[in-house]
Structure formats: structure tokens, C-alpha cells
Amino acid sequence: MREPVEKLIEQYQKHIFAAAFSVCQNIEDADDVVQDTFLKYHSSKKEFSSNEHTKAWLLRVAINKAKDHTRSFWKKNTISIEELMMASPDNEELPLTQKDEGKEILEEVMKLPTKYRIVIHLFYYEDYSVEEIANVLGLSVSNVKTRLSRARNMLKKEILEVEAYV
């Protein structure tokens, strides 16, 4: 039994939002999770035995997406505007130059080709081991090591070029 997405949105949007909000604790993030959940339903070909089965599946997807969102690098390494406005300039943890350097490195990481950006992200930002990355990506350990090495070399080259201009 497969219901139209529009009908499911009317029936379950509030339930899914509540589940997502309980994990994310942020209205905007919960809205994103709700949207992603219904997109996943729309793109899946899964058949459901009942309305309860559909609702349970939607809630599980929403909770998993919300958990993924809260564990993401971007969520862990950003602060809200409210937190930024409440922060005291006298209470900075890092000198401005160190913050700028971190931002520059992140910008350079984001410029890398996808296959290198993914291994850098998993290794440095998610703290996965080389073996874990190999399992996640379905690659050999030596391939992951090669990609990490090449990515580091690309980053080193770009950072040195940026510093040469400064």
C-alpha cells in the first residue's frame, strides 16, 4: 500500500516535526529533516503493509536523519547567530589569526575533488580510522591511504600558494 506524499504530509507532518525537533532542538533543522524525510519517501519504492507501518517508517527515517544532522561536521562546528551575539569579545578561545587559518583550511578542503574531500572529511573531521573509511567507502586500505596522501599534498600546495600571496 503506497499513499500519495501529499496525504502523508497532511497526516504525519506534525508527528515527524516533533520527533525531529526532539533530536535537533532547532526549528529550522527540524523543518529540513521533515522535508528530507518526505523526499526520501517520495524517491523510495518501498511498499507498506498499513498506515501504521508507513508512519513508523517515516518516524524512523526522520529520527535517523535528525541524528545524522546533529552529528554532522557542519552542525558541530557552527554556532547560531544568537550564540555569536551573546559571545563576549573578551572571552575568545582562539586568537583571530588561528580562527582565520582554520577557515582558510576548510575553504581549501571544500575545493578538493569529491573523492579527496570525502576521505579528508572522514579522517580529520569525523575521526574515522583509515580502515573504517575503507569499509564505509568500499575501498582498499591502500587506496584510502593514497587518497589521503594526495589530498594532503593538494592542500599543502594550495596553502603554500595562498601564504606566498600574503
Q: What secondary structure letter does DSSP report for 77?
A: T
* d(C-alpha 68, C-alpha 56), whole Å: 18
How many helices and strands, by DSSP H and E, does the chain display? 9, 0
* d(C-alpha 88, C-alpha 85), whole Å: 8
Domain residue limits at 113: 92-165
Question: What confidence tens digit (pLDDT) does each residue in 69-123 have?
Answer: 888 766 666 655 555 445 544 444 444 344 455 677 777 887 888 888 888 877 8
Q: Please give the model's pTM, rounded to 2 decimal places.
A: 0.48
Q: Amino acid letter at 158?
A: E
Mean of the per-residue pLDDT values of the chain: 80
Is residue 47 included in any domain, yes or no?
Answer: yes
Is residue 76 included in any domain, yes or no?
Answer: no
pLDDT of residue 164: 63
Number of domains forming the structure of the chain? 2
What angle is formed at CA 124 by the lines to CA 121 and CA 126, rounded to 5 degrees? 70
